[in-house]
């Protein structure tokens, strides 16, 4: 790639966005800055595009968005002959502009576009794809990345994020295109006037909320519970719909974190708006100390994930992990549906392979089938799709992943913080009426099943040498499986790359019926586990540790030993 040539082409052609021209002129004598923007192109994958906002092929801007959308249009037209696409956006910088530019490209290609009037949550986009029977969907979001980022998530006709096959086909189409010459563009106002671009009517969002409300386990339970909630949308899309649904179920006492209430792509109150980190919840926790609610809710900018904190025994607020919230919600749904005789025959719960094994215990207790899938909520959506094909979608009860994503119901095919927020409040009200806090609920589950501690650790390997070292580590573990980790015997090995599971105790081997993924899980005695997963996009290896003790201290002690031993096995200092 001739980086200087690319830079000059952009300087001559990127005239539709004054910000880009200004940026390009400001770096004309800075080779490093030019190189950063042009040495590569953002690659379109199953998560679409994601990158820093700015000028160049390695940045998020209207030209990269247009090129990606032309590739998507070519894919839709070649596969379906014609089609429609739903588009929305969150609160990120230039997200509304990117949505409009994507709509212009689709309209110019004769593809019907359903566009939202304002920012909406990611699960709403998934709903729109299914509601309008679209062939694809686009959500302009970078989820919980820092403010400098934006992104472009692509969805298939089932409302799930695109599969590997579809994303690869779109990427092939993108690669054929000159970013300036080969993209069709329609006039936006004319396209709206002609009807090829159509704004989504408010009644559609009402129908989405009706579907959310159908997921109540104990309708009316919140009324009279005097549940007090602090809520922060983290300057994102959850503000309207989360508050609406809480009002509908009878949660009247909701205090909003004012600094994080309104959309703001600068996310000035935290380093990045991720409900997994305490810094993002800090403003909410400060308000909790003042108003003393039962519960803190925090939805991320595109409102597909929710984090919570609950009032602890001493009056302080305890952060609840994604695993813990998922365990409580699963237990709440299963136990209540069993007691009120609404549990379907052969119920199904779905979790990712790196999500807590405590769910296994709950599913055994309630006679529920548990399906394990690869990391990525599209795989949970795939389970729903397969049940739907057999007219058994009513068997699906709940799906979740450790990274704070949850879904009850089959009306969307992505994680949904709106329904999760509703169910968390309903669950809190249910137990409050019994005189229990959610802190007592999770501790009670630990007392019943053992303290399951789930911790994730990342180790970086720099540059090309680092990527090679990661390959060597995975090959070594794959070919020389340890007999124990920290003295805990390896009883089973699941290799998701070879798609084989070897039970060391019985000496049997079974096939793994999941897509290929470079992940190795070492299942240890005592239900402990070590899962090793290199990142496909960054020079990092992640360790997912499960340690099980009779109490918190013992679980942490076992975890420390497993981490130390795992690092020795992997040759990490």
Tell me the C-alpha distance between 551 and 422, whole Å. 30
The beta-carbon contacts of 378-381 under 8 Å, at least 24 apart in sequence, are 378/46, 378/160, 378/161, 378/162, 378/163, 378/413, 378/414, 379/352, 379/514, 379/515, 380/350, 380/352, 380/407, 380/415, 381/158, 381/159, 381/160, 381/161, 381/413, 381/414
Smallest Cα–Cα separation from 377: which of 140, 126, 146, 76? 126
Tell me the C-alpha distance between 246 and 255, whole Å. 12
Smallest Cα–Cα separation from 145: which of 21, 48, 3? 48
**Phi and psi angles of residue 48, each rounded to the nearest 5 degrees, phi first:** 75, -130
- Retrieve residue 496's tokens: 């998701």
Smallest Cα–Cα separation from 232: which of 196, 256, 263, 202? 256
- Retrieve residue 238's tokens: 């959850």
The beta-carbon contacts of 36-40 under 8 Å, at least 24 apart in sequence, are 37/7, 38/1, 38/3, 38/6, 38/7, 38/10, 39/1, 39/3, 40/1
Q: Integer distance in angstroms from the first to the last C-alpha of the chain? A: 37
Place of tokens 């586990």: 529
> Are 282 and 216 a contacting pair, CB within 8 Å?
no
341 in active site: no
**403 contact partners, CB below 8 Å, separation of at least 6:** 276, 305, 322
Burial class, 499, CB count within 10 angstroms (exposed 0-12 / middle 13-18 / buried 19+): middle
Q: Which of 6, 41, 88, 143 is catalytic?
A: 143
Cα 434 to Cα 426, 427, 440, 441, distances in angstroms = 13, 11, 11, 11
Which residues carry out catalysis?
143
């Amino acid at each position: 790639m001739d980086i200087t040539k690319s830079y000059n082409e952009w300087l001559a052609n990127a005239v539709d966005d004054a910000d880009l021209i200004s940026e390009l002129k400001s770096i004309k004598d800075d080779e490093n800055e030019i190189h950063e923007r042009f040495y590569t192109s953002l690659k379109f994958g199953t998560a679409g595009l994601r990158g820093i906002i700015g000028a160049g092929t390695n940045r998020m801007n209207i030209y990269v968005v247009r090129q990606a959308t032309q590739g998507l249009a070519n894919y839709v037209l070649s596969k379906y002959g014609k089609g429609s696409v739903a588009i929305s956006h969150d609160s990120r910088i230039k997200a509304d502009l990117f949505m409009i530019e994507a709509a212009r490209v689709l309209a110019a290609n004769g593809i019907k576009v359903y566009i939202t009037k304002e920012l909406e949550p990611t699960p709403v986009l998934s709903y729109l794809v299914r509601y309008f029977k679209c062939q694809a969907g686009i959500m302009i979001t970078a989820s919980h990345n820092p403010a400098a980022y934006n992104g472009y998530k692509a969805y298939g006709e089932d409302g799930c994020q695109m599969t590997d096959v579809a994303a690869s086909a779109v990427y092939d189409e993108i690669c054929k295109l000159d970013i300036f010459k080969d993209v069709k563009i329609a006039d936006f106002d004319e396209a709206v006037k002609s009807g090829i671009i159509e704004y989504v009517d408010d009644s559609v969002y009402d129908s989405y909320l009706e579907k959310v409300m159908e997921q109540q386990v104990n309708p009316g339970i919140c009324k009279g519970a005097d549940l007090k909630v602090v809520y922060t949308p983290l300057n994102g899309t959850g503000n309207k719909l989360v508050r609406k649904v809480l009002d509908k179920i009878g949660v009247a006492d909701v205090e909003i974190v004012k600094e994080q209430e309104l959309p703001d792509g600068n996310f000035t109150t935290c380093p990045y708006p991720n409900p997994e980190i305490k810094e993002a919840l800090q403003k909410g926790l400060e308000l909790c100390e003042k108003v003393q609610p039962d519960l803190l809710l925090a939805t991320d900018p595109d409102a597909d994930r929710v984090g919570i904190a609950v009032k602890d025994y001493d009056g302080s607020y305890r952060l609840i992990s994604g695993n813990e919230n998922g365990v409580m919600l699963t237990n709440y749904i299963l136990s209540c549906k069993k007691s009120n005789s609404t549990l379907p025959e052969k119920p199904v719960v779905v979790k990712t392979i790196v999500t807590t094994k405590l769910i296994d215990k709950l599913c055994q207790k309630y006679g529920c089938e548990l399906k394990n899938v690869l990391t990525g909520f599209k795989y949970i959506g795939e389970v729903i799709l397969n049940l739907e094909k057999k007219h058994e979608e009513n068997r699906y009860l709940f799906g979740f992943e450790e990274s704070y994503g949850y879904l009850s119901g089959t009306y969307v095919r992505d994680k949904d913080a709106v329904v999760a927020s509703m169910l968390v409040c309903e669950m809190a009200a249910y137990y409050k009426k019994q005189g229990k806090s959610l802190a007592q609920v999770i501790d009670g589950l630990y007392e019943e099943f053992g303290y399951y501690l789930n911790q994730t650790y990342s180790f970086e390997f720099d540059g090309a040498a680092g990527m090679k070292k990661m390959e060597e580590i995975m090959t070594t573990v794959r070919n020389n499986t340890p007999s124990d980790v920290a003295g805990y015997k390896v009883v089973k090995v699941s290799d998701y790359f070879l798609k084989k599971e070897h039970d060391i105790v019985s000496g049997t081997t079974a096939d793994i019926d999941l897509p290929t993924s470079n992940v190795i899980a070492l299942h240890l005695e005592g239900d402990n586990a070590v899962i090793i997963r290199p990142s496909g996009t960054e020079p990092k290896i992640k360790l997912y540790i499960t340690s099980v003790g009779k109490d918190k201290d013992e679980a942490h002690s076992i975890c420390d030993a497993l981490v130390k031993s795992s690092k020795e096995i992997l040759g990490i200092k």
